[in-house]
Structure 1
Amino acid sequence: MNVEIRRRRFASVVGADIEFERIGTGYLFTEGPLWHPHERFLLFTDIPGNCINRWSREQGVTTFRRPSQMANGLTYDRRGRLIACEHATSRVTRTEPGGAITVLASHFDRKALNSPNDVVVKRDGAIYFTDPPYGRVEFYGVPRPQELTFQGVYRLEPDGGALTLLVDDFDRPNGLCFSPDERRLFVNDTNRGHIRVFDVGPNGTLTNGRVWAETQGEGKGVPDGMKIDSEGHLYCTGPGGIHVFDPEAACLGVIRVPEDTANFTWGDDDLRSLFIAASTSLYRVRVQVPGRPVF
């Protein structure tokens, strides 16, 4: 079977079984899948391939941007502008409607960021991102010394204002997502194998950090990509594939992906297709509960 069911509710959230459709392959390491809810296409990155790819039903996979500065995580802001985390440059950038690239963040305290990894945008326009050092090693980035002594989680004011360090005690902060009401922010730690949750204050700061869940199981995989569906179920990569948690942190089961999985997103018109970036390939599966549009 392609699923590992730990609680019966898994079947009503994901399905009693699923079929994988491989819609692209031959990449070096796929990441950052992002669905455009209005124009109905998917972007995804190939970090070592230095490329952002575009997929649509009509055209299949085409090149969206090359070079991509070894981009990793992608999202859209509330105006539909592309936000990208760049490994090669240690920047967070925004693509303007005319195609120009605006640098939103590159340094903190006069030192270069490690390598921004994943990014989300709050409804008020503030940008939150994680900053582990993966983009400073061979294959995933450009080898170079790390300037900062910590791995942080940051907040950017809307439209690229002040950069604030929110948390600095992670080993390898990676995937992050807001609860549906945006009162909590979830951030996983790849090396520690767990998901932490923080309360989000009125000014956007994070407090009361605590471990919310761990990704436990058999097979290759670590906490990396992480998102929440329209009913509050949290999906997070981990051993064996994608772990699905209910809002109370109980693991309902695991989508057992054919390849080591880095990230995923929901797409298609009903947001019930789960697009999965898994090592050399891009997969699609159908699930029961839809995701949420990015904007």
Structure 2
Amino acid sequence: MKKFYILSFSFLACCFYAKAQQKLIISENANLQLVSDEFEFTEGPAADSLGNVFFTDQPNNRILKWDAETGEISLFLEDARRANGLFVDDEGNLLACADENFQLIKISPKKQIEVLVGSFKGKNLNGPNDLWLDKKGGIYFTDPYYQREYWEREQPDLQGQNVYYLARGEKDPVIVAKDLKKPNGIIGTADGKKLYIADIGDNKTYSYTVSAEGKLTDKTLFVEQGSDGMTIDENGNVYLTGDGVTVYNKNGEKIEHIKVGEEWTANVTFGGKDQQTLFITAMDAVYTLKMKLRGTRWQP
């Protein structure tokens, strides 16, 4: 009986702790706001230093921009090489996973495009999907295989669906994770010491320790849930997508589920002038939600 009481108390304590954390995430009286549903399929949201958010309308092959000041959406780039996941670097360049030609590209503020990665050991990549930039300017990106109707090929050129790292100044990426079924979403912690990768093909998300050389070690199951896209806040809570947005604290405990009301929620990031606006891409729409916590990229 004593053991039962101890277990019960422990369970109630965990529930109370998770509930207390939940109240710290979403601003009081905040509701999900539809910004626009005039797209075909939205993906890849990424905020710049001013809190403006760039995102893709992948089937329509374009990148759009949400203005943090006005809340208005404008066209940033047509013919976006089928860009999917995005990330804005410190110089204001837009890094993009562009699977039209299986590339990782950089788009300058003047919309000039540079190919950062065009192949791996002489073979086409599967189709870069999502990415994260570390403190040193190195880029981690996932490379799952999703057959596209605009490709001539009908099978991959490479064996396996891997995660790659492109060190700053290098031309060739290296494989840092190759034992995943279909890696998709990816995000790192503020200090750059931990990386989360979602294996959407196995419905799991893992955490890794990042070495000084950018290698990944100590693969650990974080949660039994995969994710399309993901983000992280200043407290280290991890936001996964799919059925709305599910939030886990750094211990892998579920502390929130944000219902979006769409068939599929593809991706999420923090934006806005104060970095406290959760920006969500879901099917043909984009939504915002005011949060108590700020988003984070990494600390200088």
- TM-score over 0.5 for the alignment? yes
Matched, 1:115 2:127: yes
Contact (CA 8 Å) 1:114, 1:132: kept in 2 or not?
A: yes
Deviation at 1:197, TM superposition (A): 1.0
Within 1, Cα distance between the matches of 2:52 and 2:209?
33
Matched, 1:277 2:281: yes
Q: Secondary structure at the match of 2:178?
A: strand
**Structure 1 portions without partners, runs of 5+:** 216-221
Matched, 1:203 2:218: no
Deviation at 1:97, TM superposition (A): 4.6
For 1:88, the equivalent position in structure 2 comes to: 100
Q: Deviations over 1:232-282 (max 9, x none)?
A: 1111114x3111111111111211112120001111111111110000100
For 1:227, the equivalent position in structure 2 comes to: 231
For 1:43, the equivalent position in structure 2 comes to: 54
**Structure 2 portions without partners, runs of 5+:** 1-15
Cα–Cα, structure 1 residues 59 and 7, in superposed 2: closer, same or farther, change >3 Å? closer
Between structure 1 and structure 2, the one with the greater Rg is 2
Within 2, Cα distance between the matches of 1:204 and 1:235?
23
Tell me the matched-pair count: 280
* Match of residue 291, structure 1, among 288, 295, 298: 295
For 1:246, the equivalent position in structure 2 comes to: 249
Identity of paired residues, percent? 31
Q: Deviations over 1:161-192 (max 9, x none)?
A: 33111111111101111122211111001121
* Match of residue 152, structure 1, among 162, 171, 176: 162
Q: Secondary structure at the match of 2:274?
A: coil
Q: Which amino acid aligns with 1:288?
A: K
Cα–Cα, structure 1 residues 154 and 249, in superposed 2: closer, same or farther, change >3 Å? same
Matched, 1:142 2:151: yes
* Match of residue 241, structure 2, among 227, 237, 240: 237
User: Normalising to structure 2: TM-score of the pair?
Assistant: 0.88
Deviation at 1:48, TM superposition (A): 0.7
Q: Which amino acid aligns with 1:227?
A: T
* Match of residue 113, structure 2, among 89, 98, 101: 101
Q: Which amino acid aligns with 1:257?
A: V
Structure with the largest fraction of helix = 2
Contact (CA 8 Å) 2:120, 2:172: kept in 1 or not?
A: no
Matched, 1:126 2:138: yes
Q: Which amino acid aligns with 1:35?
A: A
Structure with the largest fraction of strand = 1
Q: Deviations over 1:84-111 (max 9, x none)?
A: 0012111000123543211111211211
TM-align CA RMSD: 2.0
Cα–Cα, structure 1 residues 157 and 243, in superposed 2: closer, same or farther, change >3 Å? same
Contact (CA 8 Å) 2:187, 2:231: kept in 1 or not?
A: yes
Within 2, Cα distance between the matches of 1:21 and 1:97?
28
Q: Secondary structure at the match of 1:48?
A: helix
